[in-house]
Amino acid sequence: MGFFADKLSALTAFDKAYDEFELTETEPGSPDEPYGMRSPGRVDAASGDLGRVSGSIKKNKKRLSELFRTDINGDVILRGFCTGGGQSMLIAYMNGMADDSKINEFILKPLMEYEGSERGLDGLTENTVRISEVRLEKDMGEAVLAIMDGLTVLFAEGDGSCAVLETHGYEKRAVSAAENEKVVLGPKESFTESFRTNVTLLRRIIHTDDLTVESRMSGGRNNTRLALIYREGFTNEKLIKEVRRRLDGIDVDTPLTSGILEQLIEKHSLFPVPRILSTERPDRAASHIMQGRVCLIVEGSPFALVLPITFFSLMNSPEDVYMRRPLGTVLRVVRYIGAAVSVMIPGYFLALALYHQGILTTEVLSTVIASRKMVFEPIGVEILLLLIIFQMIREAGQRVPGSIGQAIGIIGGLIMGQAAVTAHLASSVVLIIVAASGLGNFCIPDYSTQIAASWVRLAMLLAAWLGGLAGMVAASLLTVCLLADMKSFGVPFLSPFAPKTRSKRPLILRGAIGLKGSADDYMNTESEGRRRRV
């Protein structure tokens, strides 16, 4: 109730200046928490109040045992040992998260064989331990986070710090071909669940020295690792600050994935149209980073989030630039026509059939009437029913394994359709309309946008059912108004068309490759200066 009350009060808060409502997305303060998700304050490892590392190994071991409840959690390894020179040491790591062989071969073995007089961690890690990535920490909270992250922590008697050693060694999926954003021409590889692999995939594509990978932990209890990737000195500073601000506001207990993060940093997460692009393709993410956008990668998610985005970037497919210009242009035009057909045609047909039969010629009208002769339900119910069945087939096809999914599509599309016409549950004309609408929906390259288009299609259908073409006009205008009012991290959603901004690239037609070099004006990148003309 509280959430809806807040939304209502925001809508009718007349005491605020009008301008504040024009740019709600970049208001100061924390972004809204969807569904009231905000965990109560707690003392955790990330907050850094676990104190400092003790100089006594005994105390450190006791502390870690209590924190990790080693009496119950068998996978936390705390092992004490002595070096050949008699220095007492303690090693702590998470079994399964860290690589055992690496620990044995490059940490334990050299230290146990070391007979020198060096007793401090500084010297021991510098000369004896054979791990490339080492850092010293004095904060116990950082040590705990490192253990949970799959690193190994080394303590030495008499040293008030600990050494954090890179020993990641958990199982992970190999880089495979993209499943949701398939292309015929162009790279096949996709992001995986591994944070490091994903960053590497991007670094392999982007070779500019200004690429910055800002690694940080998410807020809340779970402390998921995420990376903020951008081009320093090129990407708009205000945009980076805004993303950082929204990330700082995250405080949830739910395990963070890219989908959840997307909702948490969006201002209006109830609106169906996405304001952040979720892509599984490193080449697509890299292309956006090069144009001055910010990319977010979350540990455990095979998707990168790209922001800010516009309507036109959601409608572009990575394949467009991998083929010749005329071919890419044709594909894009077909895609836009498909999207328009998907959204408009069921509603338009219903409006003509119910209210404006005069628009149709006698021949077309008699064909429609003949096909619906034996169908018992009203035409509106018939279209709605078929759209729901179509959506069900689509969902079923996606949730079951590959070959069975294809079979469901064939059964649903051909056999059920034919059977429905024969049984007079649906007319062949309406079936064709719904099928065309469904096909058009698949032309939209982004999955979230496809779902949003389905919502708009439903709204159009209901509006047409209620008011014919006037209802559709009202619904279309309302949809465009909402889209025109939308902003993705301060960038108007329909730019560079509305508002018109300078853009060297055509909106729908594919531009020349040579024009891809500079960023769009609405990105307001730093190196191009702040252009004042809107």
Q: Does 515 bind other proteins (CB under 8 A)?
A: no
Q: Per rule CB under 8 A, is residue 8 in the interface with other proteins?
A: no
Distances in Å between the Cα of 70 and the Cα atoms of 76, 100, 147 are: 6, 18, 13
Shortest distance (Å) from residue 293 CB to other proteins: 13
Residue 212 CB contacts under 8 Å (≥ 6 apart), including other chains:
229, 230, 231, 232
How many angstroms separate the CA atoms of 309 and 82, rounded?
56
Residues in the interface with other proteins (CB under 8 A) total 58
Nearer to other proteins, 398 or 527 (CB): 527
Q: Where are the beta strands (DSSP E) in 273-397?
A: 277-279, 294-298, 304-307
**Residue whose CB is less far from other proteins, 324 or 530:** 530
Among the listed ranges 227-235, 318-326, 392-400, 526-534, the one in contact with other proteins (CB under 8 A) is: 526-534
Compute the Cα dihedral for 491, 493, 496, 499 and give only its sign: negative
C-beta of 339: minimal distance to other proteins in Å? 14
Which residues in 214-273 contact other proteins (CB under 8 A)? 236, 238-239, 242
Q: Is 12 exposed, middle or buried (0-12, 13-18, 19+ CB in 10 A)?
A: exposed
Q: How far is the CB of 306 from other proteins (least distance, A)?
A: 17
Nearer to other proteins by Cβ, of 183 and 494: the residue is 494
| Orientation angle between helical segments 379-399 and 402-410, nearest 10 degrees | 160
- Residue 377 or 528 with smaller CB distance to other proteins: 528
SS3 513: helix
Residue reference for tokens 């689509």 = 394
In the complex with other proteins, which residue's Cβ is closer, 190 or 501?
501
- Vertex 368: Cα angle to 364 and 373 (nearest 5): 145
Per rule CB under 8 A, is residue 358 in the interface with other proteins?
A: yes
In the complex, least distance from residue 4 CB atom to other proteins, rounded to whole angstroms: 19
CA distance 332 to 44: 50
For the CB of residue 307, give the shortest distance to other proteins in the complex, in Å.
12
Task: To the nearest 10°, report the CA torsion of 484, 485, 486, 491.
Answer: 80
DSSP lists the bridge partners of residue 316 as: none
Q: Please report, as residue ranges, which positions from 364 to 403 form the binding site for other proteins (by CB under 8 A).
A: 364
* Residues forming a β-bridge with 168: 98
33-41, 203-211, 226-234, 518-526 -> range binding other proteins (CB under 8 A): 518-526
In the complex, minimum distance from the CB of residue 524 to other proteins, in angstroms, rounded to a whole number? 5
Among positions 451-510, residues that touch other proteins (CB under 8 A) are 463, 466-474, 476-478, 480-481, 484-485, 489-492, 494-501
Chain position carrying tokens 């320093």: 232
Distance CA 522, CA 526 (A): 12
Identity of the residue, 222 or 479, whose beta carbon is nearer to other proteins in the bound complex: 479
Q: Which is nearer to other proteins, 337 or 364 (CB)?
A: 364
**Residue (45 or 239) nearer to other proteins, CB:** 239
Between strands 294-298 and 88-94, the pairing is unpaired
Question: Segment 316-355, which members bind other proteins (CB under 8 A)?
Answer: 355
CA distance 192 to 299: 9
Per-residue tokens: 78: 């705390």
User: Which are the contacts of 500, defined by CB distance < 8 A and separation ≥ 6?
Assistant: 534
What amino acid is encoded at 325 in this protein?
A: R
| Residue 184 touches other proteins, criterion: CB under 8 A | no
One residue of 21, 35, 81, 170 binding other proteins per CB under 8 A: 21
**Residues contributing to the site for other proteins (CB under 8 A):** 14-19, 21-23, 26, 236, 238-239, 242, 355-356, 358-361, 363-364, 463, 466-474, 476-478, 480-481, 484-485, 489-492, 494-501, 521-522, 524, 530-532, 534
